[in-house]
Chains A and B, each alone.
Chain A
Amino acid sequence: MNFRALWIGKRSIFGLGAAAVFLVLAYLAFVAAKPAYAIPAFARKYNLPCSACHEAWPKLNNFGQVFRDNGYQLDNGKDSPIWQSPTYWPVTFRITPQWHRNSSSHQKVDSIPGDATSPPLEKTITSHGFDLSGVDIWTAGTLYKNISFSVLPSSDSSGSFHFENAWVRFDNLLGSRWANLKFGKFELDNMISEKRFLFLSANGGVYQLYHFLPVREAAFVSSGVNALNPGFGLGDNQLGVELAGHSPNSYTRYSLALLSSNDGNVSVPNSSYDGFASVSRAFEVNGLGLQRVGAYAYFGQRPTNFNTAGGTPITGAGSNNKSFYRAGLNSVLYAGPLDFSLLFLHGWDNAFLGTGTPGNALLPAGAHAPTWNGGFVETHYTYNPKLIFVQRNEFIRMSRQALASDPSDLGNLDAYSFGARWYPIMFSRAGLAWHSEYAIVKSARTSQVTGRDVWSSSVLFGLDFAF
């Protein structure tokens, strides 16, 4: 038997097979990628393709933004629930079965497994396997003309549920688009929404800037010493009331919100309040499309002490509130099939928060209010409504550390994410996306034992579907 010939033959067959698979995939991706038709809850109601409201779901385009701003109403005389078939139930389910690989360098581990007293070591921890995301069971719509609602019970991957949002909104008060009042738990009016972006992996699936806390503060918040201080995330849904308005085509928008100082955590009232404001303006540029620019600011406070009973903090009994703020500029710029989301953020936290010092204690020597600046550029290339490529570069730089003795770059962060979403089917009652993503994050000098840079990376392939 001529093994060499057989091998060459097999290699040729293998090569041909691989080429065929590649060609089929390429064909499916670029030629057979017909327009998107998808409809979960709202699209079912209005018989519109999902691509009417979404650049690529869940990312909204301006039409979707106007629909949302207008209280989930299209203003075509068929918005009221009485127009719907009695069997219509405005609910969407979304979940992502996936395979992922996560890796973090310089993680603290016991040198003798199981022996907490053994000297700690640093090691790269890598895990991979098949998994599930949490599930979103989202219902939203109109209760009546100009009264809209949303309820989103959402679980983590183990099935433990919480309410991601739950609100009622009174739309077009006094017949004006400029007066809409929302009450409940809702997403802040971030022009660049973390809830609707196209990243899912452990490292890419958050805007680092929206959740960043200086290193010492982050350690304090997560330590449990101040267990009822939830920290803060601009991307977290918050509890409160919002007054918002917009022009007929939502080119001009504003939002003012009064929020509980609890980062949206229920049953943690904290008896103090935060404020958020955002404003944006869009304009057309011939040949490029719609360009939107805006500004935002969040002013908040968090308790640094709690009254305790038996050593346990009493819920809502926080005291010695200390303030913080986040402020910045954002924009979404279109250039044909390309669009760029740009964000700049400046952060400032009170020295007590920044150093993790209880308000009834003395600040450590050399303590300052930490400040930082950050930004990201997120790029989308929409080949067609069924195929989109995404990429993001994100940077955070400390401009002043909480303690003068800390290295100036402690906690600096660099994050890069790349991905593609392909929607092979988007029929009128459901959508399915093949999601692939790679993300990597470097956090400067944050390893717990040696103070070295920590690199974390994620690879994720999943089937993201909604119906």
Chain B
Amino acid sequence: MARRDAIARRIAARSCLFVFLAAPVFSQESHIGNLAGEVGRGKKLYQRFCIGCHGEQGDGRGENAVYVDPRPRDFTTGTFKCRSTPSGAIPLDADLFNTIGRGLYSTAMPPWLPLTRQQRADLVAYVKSFSPRFRQEKAESPLEVPPETPASEDSIDRGRELYQTTIKCALCHGKEGRGDGPSASTLTDSKGMPIQPYDFTAATRFKCGQSDEDLYRVLMTGLDGSPMASFSNSLKPEQAWDLIHYVRTLQPNFHSRERNAKSNQLAKTTVKDRSPSEAKEGTK
């Protein structure tokens, strides 16, 4: 009887030990929709695709890191730019999944869309395993994006006011959105590396997506690890949309409702400012 008890105790102890040891492994899985990513498979993929920049330890110190600007992400901190969760929170698995597929435009991180969905899910699981935060913290609810307000001329005007004066985006991003504001040269990321504000005039794509919704998310959740803060406490949703409508007009290659609205506005202003005869000539 005593022997049986001893065996039972041993089995119970070993089971506890197994659960204790296995828990972190299970918690490092990823779940994106009906996909479940696995750390083991993710590790192999990471070694094939990511290790050159992000390093064997996931600390952003891969052999090519010194040649890359901006520097590769340090996964050990659990800090990520592109998130749908509030500033300071760990990202959702889907956020990491989308970042891998989309890439980070204007950085060395290419779109990894050619990898299968399963492969990307596996990579998410492995990337999470570098930071204890994913085991210790619970993912917060994602930001809800309210319906976009109309991109009217008034909205653009209000957005301009926010950009240039109220929130002072121009301090970093520059008056014309060229990323050359007076503070631009002083900015550093959370690792102390110099970082440039985004130049809205250079391209049509942003790091964390192309849609207005993506921009809204960036405004309200910030880009953690960079000087771009979250404005969720200082901007109402409709103000955020106004700002986005204005920012869109700074993109020369972006053909949007906002740009058309701005063009109309400029055309009207121009005609209004000219004498009737000049305006008539202009219509010839």
Contacts and interface: CB of A to CB of B under 8 A. Distances in A.
Given A286-B118, A428-B52, A76 B47 contact: no
Interface residues of A, number: 32
A47 B50 CA distance: 10
Interface stretch (A7-15, A58-66, A221-229, A258-266): A58-66
B113 A248 contact: yes
B33 interface: no
Interface stretch (B15-23, B99-107, B129-137, B145-153): B99-107
A407 interface: no
Nearest to A336: B41
B114 A284 contact: no
A48 B114 CA distance: 15
B41 to A, nearest CB: 9
Contacts of A427: 63
A76 B110 contact: yes
B9 interface: no
B231 interface: no
Interface in A12-47: 34-37, 39, 46-47
A75 B111 contact: yes
Most-contacted residue by chain B among A35, A62, A248 (CB, 10 A): A35
Contacts of A287: 118
Interface string A363-390: 0000000000000000000001100000
B52 A49 contact: yes
B63 A52 contact: no
B249 to A, nearest CB: 21
Interface residues of B, number: 31
B103 to A, nearest CB: 5
A250 B109 CA distance: 19
A157 interface: no
A45 to B, nearest CB: 10
B114 A289 contact: no
B178 to A, nearest CB: 16
A92 to B, nearest CB: 17
Contacts of B111: 74-76
A63 B114 contact: yes
Contacts of A37: 51-52, 63-64
B151 to A, nearest CB: 24
A289 B118 CA distance: 8
B100 to A, nearest CB: 12
Contacts of B47: 34-35, 51, 384-385
B48 A75 contact: no
B117 interface: yes
Most-contacted residue by chain A among B49, B104, B113, B114 (CB, 10 A): B114
Contact of B49 (A34, A47, A49, A384): A49
A78 interface: yes
Interface in A212-257: 248-250
B105 to A, nearest CB: 5
A248 B110 CA distance: 13
Given A47-B53, A47-B67, A427-B63, A289 B116 contact: yes
B193 interface: no
A286 B48 CA distance: 20
A77 interface: yes
Contacts of A35: 47-48, 51, 56
A76 B113 contact: no
Contacts of B105: 76-77
A466 to B, nearest CB: 17
A66 B68 CA distance: 22
A290 interface: yes
Contacts of A75: 103, 110-111
Nearest to B72: A47
B117 A52 contact: no
B205 interface: yes
Contact of A384 (B44, B116, B119): B44
Given A49-B51, A77-B106, A62 B63 contact: no
Given A37-B52, A52-B49, A66-B113, A284 B108 contact: no
Contacts of A428: 52, 63-64
B254 interface: no
A385 B48 contact: yes
B47 to A, nearest CB: 4
B113 A284 contact: no
B118 A284 contact: yes
B203 interface: yes
A315 to B, nearest CB: 44
Contacts of B205: 77
B75 interface: no
A333 B78 CA distance: 36
A435 to B, nearest CB: 20
A293 B117 CA distance: 19
A51 B108 contact: no
Contacts of B107: 76-78
A34 B51 CA distance: 11
Contacts of A286: 118
A290 B117 CA distance: 10
Contacts of A76: 103-111
A386 to B, nearest CB: 10
B110 A46 contact: yes
Nearest to A385: B48
Given A77-B203, A385-B47, A48 B52 contact: yes
18 contacts: A35-B47, A35-B51, A35-B56, A39-B64, A46-B110, A47-B64, A47-B108, A48-B49, A48-B64, A51-B48, A52-B49, A62-B115, A75-B103, A77-B203, A77-B205, A289-B116, A384-B44, A385-B47
**The 3 A-B residue pairs with the shortest CB-CB distance in the complex, in nearest-first order:** A35-B47, A47-B64, A49-B52
Given A47-B67, A63-B112, A286-B118, 10 more contacts: A37-B64, A39-B64, A47-B64, A47-B68, A47-B108, A76-B104, A78-B106, A284-B116, A289-B116, A428-B63
